[in-house]
Amino acid sequence: MAILTILVDNFARSRGLLAQHGFSLWCEAGSNRILFDTGADGDVLQSNAAALGVDLSKATDIVLSHGHWDHGGGLARAMDLCPAARVWIPSGALLPRWHRCATENRDIALQEGVRSRLVLDRKRWQETTDLATLGDGIWITGPIPGERPAWTHRDLWRNELLDVPDDVPEEQALVLETPEGLVVVAGCAHFGIDNLLDRLGILFPGKPLATLVGGLHLESAPQQELSRLSGRLLEAGARCVVPCHCSGPYASYQLSKSDGFSCEHGVVGKKLSFPV
Ligand SMILES: [Fe+2]
Ligand SMILES: [Fe+2]
């Protein structure tokens, strides 16, 4: 049995669990214990893990989906709390990045404390550039290629002054192979759902998608695109979609109206289990 537990999300509905803008998920599968993303800071990650009975010291792997502060902000603490874990960072995640629009110009790269820790602990982490296996039937995709739709990287730039767009090319996903199909975890889905499904088709030919959980970055996706994506997810075999974090309440609601798969918004503490 594989068990996924949401540790950090924008929403929490139970007493004792903290919400913050960010995402982190704990995955138990076989002998692997994987921390996928770390939320925006170590305090919330540590507090929610303790409240949910998740023993981070057992982690075999820490996987970073991409180099934004709300996914990697807890990484330095996670490296302390998960002393035996291998750390997987997608190539390009450490480049500068900014959120710039009419009302703000904000550095959204990994925080200075995280970057210093990675410098000091260089032997502890490795860059992923392609598909990599963490264990039997457990994979990280490596950076997912493909042209991204505008809504997945609106107002994201490489530089605080220069107009160099950032479509977050490094973002990777976690994939579990189960008898029912692929269980896929996304951090923010800046890669776009279409590119994810295309990549899964290449990396795991003939294997249907069973479950998609995580940030889907559909907040500003047009209505007709949400309907189309519902259809594509269904076509890919989806039975369960759990939008979290940056998915957007309207998009989650639209996805939940699909007849073909179940869809319930993720919150801190939500658990999903699968036979493996
Ligand atoms: Fe995010
Ligand atoms: Fe992001």
What residues contact 257, with CB distance under 8 A and at least 6 apart? 230
Distance 243 CA to ligand 1 centre (A): 12
Ligand minimally distant from the alpha carbon of residue 214: 1
93 alpha carbon, closest ligand? 2
DSSP state of 182: E
- Residue ranges and CATH numbers for the domains of the chain are 2-274 (3.60.15.10)
SS (H, E, C) 94-125: CCCCEEECCCCEEECCCCHHHHHHHHHCHHHE
Closest ligand to C-alpha of residue 68 is: 2
CA dihedral 89, 245, 5, 79 (to 10 degrees): 30
Give every strand in the sheet of 156-157, ordered side by side: 105-107, 98-100, 156-157
Interatomic CA distance for residues 54 and 38, integer angstroms? 13
Joined tokens for residue 220: 């500003």
* SS3 sequence of 222-253: CHHHHHHHHHHHHHHCCCEEEEEHHHCHHHHH
CA of 71 to the centre of ligand 1 (A): 6
Q: Specify the pLDDT at position 173.
A: 99
**What spacing in Å lies between the alpha carbon of 10 and ligand 1's midpoint?**
10
Q: Are strands 2-8 and 24-29 parallel, antiparallel or unpaired?
A: antiparallel
Cα 259 to middle of ligand 1, angstroms: 28
pTM of the model: 0.98
Query: Which H or E run contains 272?
Result: strand 271-274
Residue 193 is which amino acid? Answer: I
Average pLDDT value for residue range 145-170: 96
The rounded distance, in Å, linking the Cα atoms of 276 and 273 is: 9
Q: Which ligand is nearest to the CA of 167?
A: 2
Per-residue pLDDT band for 129 (boundaries 50, 70, 90) equals very high
Confidence of residue 143 (pLDDT cuts 50, 70, 90): very high
Instruction: Identify the pLDDT of residue 273.
Output: 97
Reported as a single tens digit per residue, the pLDDT across 32-50 is 999 999 999 999 999 999 9
Degrees, nearest 5: CA angle 219-222-223: 105
